[in-house]
């Protein structure tokens, strides 16, 4: 996964972060299956409401499982870098909230499908931004 040029989601006044340690790289490799599962599940949310409540609920169930796997893995394997650990924990939590929103959408006749799509996209963006913090600084 590539990161952007650093201009989105960063404060220009922030100093450059130090290079990421090899311990964090090893941790990230272990986290990748959960991260990949989350990303795939969240991407399936976009547009699902138009497919009906049964499909929305099935997709919600997949997202709930992915979020649970990520939280369980993270609980058993905290990152050695506390800043990265906190960022990823927050991003993982976003997917739990998204799953709750999807469950509500599957059970509601008056839902805002566009808002749900935006929340799913934002969850993916937040996780992507958190992952950028794990990449070694470019020389």
String of DSSP letters for the chain: -----S-SSS-TTSPPPPPPPHHHHHHHHHHHHHHHHHHHHHHHHTTGGGG-HHHHHHHHHHHHHHHHHHHHHHHHS--SSHHHHHHHHHHHHHHHHHHHHHHHHHT-SS--HHHHHHHHHHHHHHHHHHHHTTSPPP-
Split at pLDDT 50, 70, 90, the class of 103 is confident
The CATH classification of domain 26-132, taken from the options 2.40.50, 1.20.120, 3.30.70, 1.10.3470: 1.20.120
pLDDT tens string 43-97: 898 888 888 888 888 999 999 999 999 999 999 999 989 998 999 999 999 999 9
Domain edges within the chain: 26-132
**Per-residue pLDDT, 62:** 93
């Amino acid at each position: 996964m590539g990161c952007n040029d650093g201009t989105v989601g960063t404060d220009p006044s922030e100093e450059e972060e130090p290079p990421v340690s090899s311990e964090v790289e090893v941790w990230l490799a272990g986290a990748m299956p959960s991260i990949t599962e989350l990303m795939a599940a969240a991407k399936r949310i976009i547009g699902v409401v138009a497919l009906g409540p049964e499909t929305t609920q099935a997709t919600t169930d997949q997202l709930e499982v992915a979020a649970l796997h990520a939280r369980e893995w993270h609980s058993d394997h905290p990152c050695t870098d506390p800043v990265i650990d906190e960022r990823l924990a927050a991003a993982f939590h976003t997917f739990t909230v998204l799953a709750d929103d999807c469950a509500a959408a599957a059970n509601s006749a008056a839902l805002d499908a566009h808002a749900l799509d935006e929340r799913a996209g934002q969850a993916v963006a937040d996780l992507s931004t958190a992952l950028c913090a794990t990449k070694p600084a470019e020389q």
